[in-house]
Amino acid sequence: MKKFYIPILFVPMIFSSQTFSEVQTSIKNFYYGSNDIGDFDNDGKPDVIHNGAIDYDNDGTADATFNEIYINNNGSFSAYGNLGTEATHLGDIRFIDCNNDGLLDIVSTGLSYQDIVNYKHYRFLNNGTGFSKVEDTAGKVYGSIEVFDLNHDGKQDYAINGTQYINGTGFVNDLSLYQNTGNGFQLTQSWLEGTQNGSFKVADLNNDQLLDVVIFGYDENTAPFFKVYLNSANGLQVSQSLLPLANGKLACADFNGDGFLDFAAIGRNENDEEYLGVFMNDGTGQFTAQEIPGEGLSDSSIDAGDLNNDGYYDFIVIGNTAGYEGTVNVFLYNPALQSFTKAGNTSLYHLGGAGNIRLFDYDGDHQLDVLMTGFDWEDPDLKSFTKLYHNTSGATNAKPNAPTGLQVIKTGNTFNFTWSAASDDKTPANALQYQIKVGTTPGAQDVAKYVVTTPAWFLTLDPAIQNVYWSVRAIDASKVYSDPSAESTLSVNDSLVMTQLSVYPNPASESVFIIGEKVYDLELYSMDGKKLNVTLNHDQSVNVSGLSRGMYILKIKLKNNWVSKKLMIK
């Protein structure tokens, strides 16, 4: 197994300032918990869903599994409702819009003190006035859930990773895919090799608009591994094995603002030593490890976002040191040095694992705040706490400008969406993310609504859908949304059924040829929306040898229509 390292400029003795103040809330103190952030009541303010266990009699021991939804009342939180006896801990919980009705539903997994033998997986549907259970099947523990649209049909899918018990087989580490059919979910057991006490992310790692997978944790022989799967026409294939990790979590972010997702990982390595590192993307979905020595934690959690409002993603971690001391640390990215510095004197409480930590702007001041839960190892009763901290750094941050230049081309049943990259006062254009909303009528979102990481996306829809209305919002590194773009729709000239046109070779390194149709004009754009200078030769070739590696959009004018093609430069 090959390991990649590059020199690190991180110096633990150098500290940057980043301060927080605790906010008192009515959120319960959760043991073995996880949570998610989402606006389930559509009032524009982020709400919280928690799963975990609680201590009813205050003796320092968890007594009951309990899940609760907390509604954001202009910066303060109150209990909206709980999930009754269908509650889990030692698992995960997520918001998901299962039926594209604009209301966030819930999916969860884990075990319950009421039935510790059977691990459970639940789904709850939001009807606008409450949540009702619609799924109750076998689930997993010591794992996580991710929500995404794998097949680009606009419907949100999800996957559950972790350990489950199968009659006749025993305990199995499994990553299962639940694909949204519009009338329910189709289960693919053992979609990929699963892990225990690990983490996974589903994201576009090489900007080809296909979703890839990063996963680490213990395999069924309790050996840690760490793999990257890249997606292509042949499906997901292992492209890289990184240093083995477990007992931790992953966070994806474009730390250096080059337009490609990196990730940070925390946990224990194959020598059972605490580890923290950042894995930088070279633009093709290959990663190089940058260890931050001496800062690893176990039973840990991590989240990424711009904590000091300088426009670049930072990250925060919670977990246990080797001596079982609870620790919460902030690492700030320095774009000039292209390295991370640990922030000192944050005033964050020293909670530890099994911990969970989230960054979100609970009060709408455009600064990321901290929600965390975990053990206080210094408390004689080993109590667990849930704490909310307000970011007091004071740095200003304006919301991004709304995206412009929306274009959509329909090729058969596939709609190719592109737009010009938005701009922001702090976050580099390459590092902006986007929320795309697509409907069959003006203002609707019945086709799709979710976040993507490039200013281009495609959906392959039911043939009955011939026209769409769509808009885009930009999102900066502090998770601040722009106003929506002007809504765009599909015109007659945008619809094109193509059976002959192709671009060859793709990927390319020297020249590409457009064959099958006569080309009248051609334009080439980088993924951040910049138009590049290229020349269409008489043989319908284009010289691309001077372009950097990565993904581009080729816009080709035929007799009466323009069509877009993705082009990879290797």
The pLDDT assigned to 500 comes to: 64
The pLDDT assigned to 11 comes to: 43
**What pLDDT, in 10s, does the model give residues 119-143?**
999 999 999 999 999 999 999 999 9
The pLDDT assigned to 12 comes to: 44
Quote the strand ranges of 259-348, DSSP E: 262-269, 274-281, 287-291, 298-305, 314-320, 326-334, 339-344
The pLDDT assigned to 492 comes to: 47
Sheet with 495-496: strands ordered across = 456-460, 414-420, 404-411, 495-496
The pLDDT assigned to 502 comes to: 82
Per the CB < 8 A criterion, the answer to whether 150 and 211 are in contact is yes
Low-confidence ranges of the chain (pLDDT < 70): 1-16, 491-500, 528-529, 560
d(CA 204, CA 198): 20
The pLDDT assigned to 286 comes to: 96
The pLDDT assigned to 14 comes to: 46
The pLDDT assigned to 231 comes to: 96
Sheet with 511-515: strands ordered across = 502-504, 511-515, 541-543
User: How far are the Cα atoms of 79, 291, 307 from residue 25, in angstroms, in the given order?
Assistant: 10, 36, 21
Per the CB < 8 A criterion, the answer to whether 428 and 421 are in contact is no
The pLDDT assigned to 7 comes to: 39
**What pLDDT, in 10s, does the model give residues 496-522?**
444 467 888 888 889 999 988 888 898
The pLDDT assigned to 392 comes to: 95
The pLDDT assigned to 501 comes to: 74
* 46 alpha carbon, distance to own chain's centre: 17
Can you give the length of the chain in residues?
570
Beta bridge partners of 138: 120
Show Cβ contacts of residue 297 under 8 Å, excluding neighbours closer than 6 positions. 248, 266, 267, 274, 276, 317, 318, 319, 320, 321, 327, 352, 353
User: Around Cβ 360, how many Cβ atoms within 10 Å?
Assistant: 21
Q: DSSP readout, 57-93?
A: SSSSS--EE--EEEEEETTEEEEEEE-TT---EEEEE
The pLDDT assigned to 10 comes to: 46
d(CA 231, CA 209): 9
**What pLDDT, in 10s, does the model give residues 388-427?**
999 998 889 999 999 999 999 888 899 999 999 999 999 9
* Radius of gyration from C-alpha coordinates of the chain: 24
Q: One-letter amino acid identity for 55?
A: D
Place of tokens 């060859």: 504
